[in-house]
Structure formats: C-alpha cells, structure tokens
Amino acid sequence: MNTPAQKTGHASIIPCLVYRDAHAAIEWLCRAFGFEKHLVVPGKDNTIEHAELVLGNGNGMVMLGSMNDREFGRNMKPPDALGGLVTQSPYVVTGDPDAHYARAKAAGAKIVLELKTEDYGGRGYACRDLEGNLWSFGSYNPWQPPPAK
C-alpha cells in the first residue's frame, strides 16, 4: 500500500525529537548536519510548537519541538532525563560521510563511533547532538541492492 508521502517521493517515516532549547537545536542541526528549515512554528514563552527540517533533496525530514507538558509531550523525554540513554537513533544516508563528519565535528558534535568503513559496506560514524540525541550518518544505503560478490 502506498502512503501519500510515497506517492510524492517523500519519506513515509519521519523521526520526531524534543529539545529543551528547540531554537538552539534548529540552528545547530542546520549548521552541523546540513538540515534546512522547512517549517518552524513558534509557541508560547519562546518555545517551538513544531518544526520540520529537511535534508538533501528534501525527501528526508525530521520533526522537532520544545519539551512540553501536553498529552503527546508527556510521552517524550530528552536524553539527559534518561541518564543520556536514547530509545531511537535516526540514521541518515549521506553521499560524503567524510565531509559530513568534519562538518559535524567542527560544529561540536560529540563523536561516539569514529568514522570507519564497515565490513558490510558503507562508511559512517555516530555522534550526539547538542542535547545528547544519538545520530548515525553513513554512505550505506539500505535501499540499494548489496554489491555483487
């Protein structure tokens, strides 16, 4: 079954994250990881009600917002509220993991898995953003068929 997003060539699964300082997170994610603002909806008291950031050709997206005490918000916590642990980690396919690694590191990303080439193919790394969310970036593209042996 095709979802409306798939019919337009967009991702049908979009990670959602919360941040204590969503304004700073948006600027940092754009600078460090190369996201671009698609939609930013301000909230009360200098918060972000909802934001959408796109990457690359626009078919990859993350949504985020400020922590809040509303019905949905009470079900999400930032990593520092869980002792630094996370229960999900976005993986982002990138065409040049070496350049992406350098950009993220220069912006202050905390590298947790150094850049390396994997036995199964692809090259990548993992890091934490400014509030501790875990991200992985690499050239491995699970949509591509495995290389012939």
Query: Over the stretch 104-149, which tens digit does the pLDDT of each residue have?
Result: 999 999 999 999 999 988 999 999 999 999 999 999 998 887 666 6
128 inside domain: yes
What average pLDDT does the chain have?
91
Domain total for the chain? 1
| pLDDT tens per residue across span 76-98 | 999 999 999 998 899 999 999 99
User: CATH number, domain at 58?
Assistant: 3.10.180.10
In a domain, 143, yes or no: no
As given in the structure block, the two tokens for residue 76 are: 């999400």
Question: 130 is in which domain, residue-wise?
Answer: 4-138
The amino acid at 13: I
The percent of residues in the chain predicted with pLDDT above 70, rounded, is 92
Q: Identify the burial level of 51 via C-beta atoms within 10 angstroms of its C-beta, where 0-12 means exposed, 13-18 middle and 19 or more buried.
A: buried
65: CB partners within 8 A, 6+ apart = 16, 18, 19, 22, 43, 47, 48, 49, 50, 51, 73
